[in-house]
C-alpha cells in the first residue's frame, strides 16, 4: 500500500508505476476550485502549460467553487485510474473519505495552493505559500505606514472555511496585536471575487460614515481589493489616500492600481504551483523519492515604490 510506510512504500509503488509510465505519458487529474480571481485563472493557465511542456495528460475539472463537485471529480479521476491527482481544495475540512479512497487506489494526491485539515498520510505533499506569513506581511506593512495614528481597519475575508481566509486573517491579526491604535472595525467575506469585494465594501462605507471612519482596507486578495477600490471611488473618496489599501496575490491589475496611487501594497503569491508539484511527483514516481510534506512558495511585498508599471508589463500576459 502506497502511503502505509512513507519511503519504503513509495519505492515499491514507484517501481510499479515506472513500468507503466515508461510506456505511456503520465495522466494527472486536476480538480480546480473555479475561476473566482485573476490569480486562480493564472494558476489554471500555468498548470495546463506546465503539463503540456512535460507531456503530461492533464484531466481538468472546474468545480465552480463547490466542494461536492471537487469530491465528484476526485472520484471520477480514481475510477479512471489516473497516475496522480492535483487538488486545489476550496475549504479545509471534509476531505478524509475521498482521500482515503485515493489512498486505497494507490493514487498520490498533491495539494495546490491551499491546505486541508486531514491526516498527513492522505496526501503526498502540499505546494503552498505560508498564508499566515502573507497576512503578517500585509499587517506589518500597515503598522509601519500608519505609525501612531488611530487606524480603523475594514477586512475583506476570502472564502469562508478556506485555508487562506483563516490563515491570512490570523497573520494580519498577529501583526497588529498589542498595537492599540489599530482596530478591525468590520470584517466580512467577499469570497475572493471582485463583485463581492465591491458589494461588501459598499456596505462597510455606508456603515462607517461614508468611509470617513475608515483608515485602511485589508483584503485577502487583490480581486476583492480592486472591487473595493471601485466602491471607494464611487463613494467620493480616494483609495490609496483617504483609505489605504493592502491585499495579497500581486495580479497585474493591482499594479495598475498601485501605479495610479489607488492601492498601496500587495503580497505576491506565485500562480506557478504546478512546476514544484510536477517535480515532486516525477521524483516520487521515477526515483521513489518522497517529498517534504510542505513545499513552500515565496511571498514578496510590493508597494508603490516598486515600479508598478514595469511589473504590470512583465505580468500582463502570464494568464491572469
Ligand atoms: O488559495 C489562493 C487564493 O485563492 C488566492 O489568493 C485567491 O485569489 C484565490 O482565489
Write down the pLDDT at residue 3.
43
162: cell is 478556506
Give the whole-angstrom CA distance, residue 247 versus residue 257: 12
For ligand 1, whether the C-beta of 254 sits within 6 Å is no
For ligand 1, whether the C-beta of 192 sits within 6 Å is yes
For ligand 1, whether the C-beta of 269 sits within 6 Å is yes
For ligand 1, whether the C-beta of 164 sits within 6 Å is yes
Give the whole-angstrom CA distance, residue 191 versus residue 30: 22
For ligand 1, whether the C-beta of 113 sits within 6 Å is yes
List per-residue pLDDT tens for the chain, 320 residues long: 344 334 334 433 443 444 444 446 899 999 999 999 999 999 999 999 999 999 999 999 999 999 999 999 999 999 999 999 999 999 999 999 999 999 999 999 999 999 999 999 999 999 999 999 999 999 999 999 999 999 999 999 999 999 999 999 999 999 999 999 999 999 999 999 999 999 999 999 999 999 999 999 999 999 999 999 999 999 999 999 999 999 999 999 999 999 999 999 999 999 999 999 999 999 999 999 999 999 999 999 999 999 999 999 999 999 99
CA angle 14, 294, 54 (to 5 degrees): 50
Write down the pLDDT at residue 20.
42
| Exposed/middle/buried for residue 256 (C-beta within 10 Å: 0-12, 13-18, 19+) | middle
Write down the pLDDT at residue 24.
65
Q: Cα(37) to centroid of ligand 1, in Å?
A: 7
- CA 176 to each of CA 106, 135, 137, 214, 225: distance values in angstroms, whole numbers, following the listed order: 45, 10, 11, 16, 20
> Pick from 55, 2, 52: which is nearest to 26 by CA?
55
Give the whole-angstrom CA distance, residue 78 versus residue 102: 6
Q: Where are the beta strands (DSSP E) in 258-317?
A: 265-269, 294-296, 299-303
Write down the pLDDT at residue 9.
41
User: What residues form DSSP beta bridges with 30?
Assistant: 60, 86
Ligand 1 pocket: which of 165, 192, 247, 320 to mutate (most atoms within 8 A of CB)? 192
Give the whole-angstrom CA distance, residue 24 versus residue 234: 56
For ligand 1, whether the C-beta of 249 sits within 6 Å is yes
Atom of ligand 1 nearest to the CA of 248: 6
Amino acid at each position: 500500500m502506497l502511503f502505509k510506510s512513507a519511503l519504503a512504500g513509495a519505492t515499491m509503488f514507484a517501481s510499479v508505476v515506472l513500468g507503466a509510465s515508461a510506456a505511456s505519458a503520465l495522466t494527472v487529474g486536476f480538480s480546480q476550485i473555479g475561476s473566482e480571481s485573476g490569480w486562480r485563472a493564472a494558476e489554471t493557465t500555468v498548470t495546463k502549460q506546465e503539463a503540456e511542456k512535460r507531456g503530461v495528460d492533464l484531466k481538468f475539472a472546474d468545480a465552480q467553487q463547490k466542494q461536492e463537485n471537487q469530491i465528484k471529480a476526485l472520484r471520477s479521476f480514481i475510477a479512471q485510474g489516473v497516475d496522480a491527482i492535483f487538488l486545489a481544495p476550496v475549504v479545509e475540512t471534509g476531505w478524509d473519505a475521498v482521500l482515503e479512497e485515493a489512498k486505497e487506489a494507490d493514487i498520490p494526491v498533491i495539494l495546490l495552493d491551499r491546505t486541508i485539515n486531514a491526516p498527513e498520510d492522505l496526501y503526498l505533499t502540499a505546494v503552498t505559500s505560508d498564508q499566515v506569513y502573507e497576512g503578517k506581511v500585509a499587517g506589518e506593512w500597515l503598522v509601519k505606514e500608519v505609525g501612531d495614528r488611530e487606524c480603523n481597519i475594514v477586512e475583506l475575508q476570502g472564502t469562508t472555511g478556506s485555508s487562506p481566509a483563516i490563515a491570512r486573517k490570523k497573520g494580519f491579526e498577529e501583526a497588529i496585536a498589542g498595537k492599540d491604535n489599530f482596530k478591525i472595525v468590520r470584517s466580512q467575506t467577499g469570497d475572493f471575487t471582485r463583485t463581492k469585494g465591491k458589494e461588501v465594501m459598499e456596505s462597510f462605507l455606508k456603515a462607517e460614515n461614508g468611509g470617513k471612519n475608515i483608515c485602511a482596507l485589508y483584503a485577502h486578495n487583490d480581486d476583492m481589493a480592486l472591487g473595493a477600490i471601485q466602491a471607494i471611488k464611487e463613494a467620493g473618496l480616494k483609495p490609496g489616500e483617504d483609505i489605504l489599501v493592502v491585499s495579497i496575490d500581486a495580479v497585474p491589475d493591482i499594479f495598475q492600481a498601485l501605479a495610479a496611487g489607488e492601492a498601496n501594497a500587495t503580497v505576491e503569491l506565485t500562480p506557478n504551483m504546478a512546476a514544484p508539484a510536477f517535480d515532486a511527483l516525477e521524483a516520487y514516481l521515477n526515483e521513489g523519492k518522497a517529498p517534504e510534506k510542505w513545499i513552500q512558495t515565496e511571498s514578496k511585498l510590493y508597494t508603490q515604490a516598486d515600479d508598478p508599471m514595469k511589473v504590470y508589463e512583465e505580468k500582463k500576459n502570464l494568464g491572469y
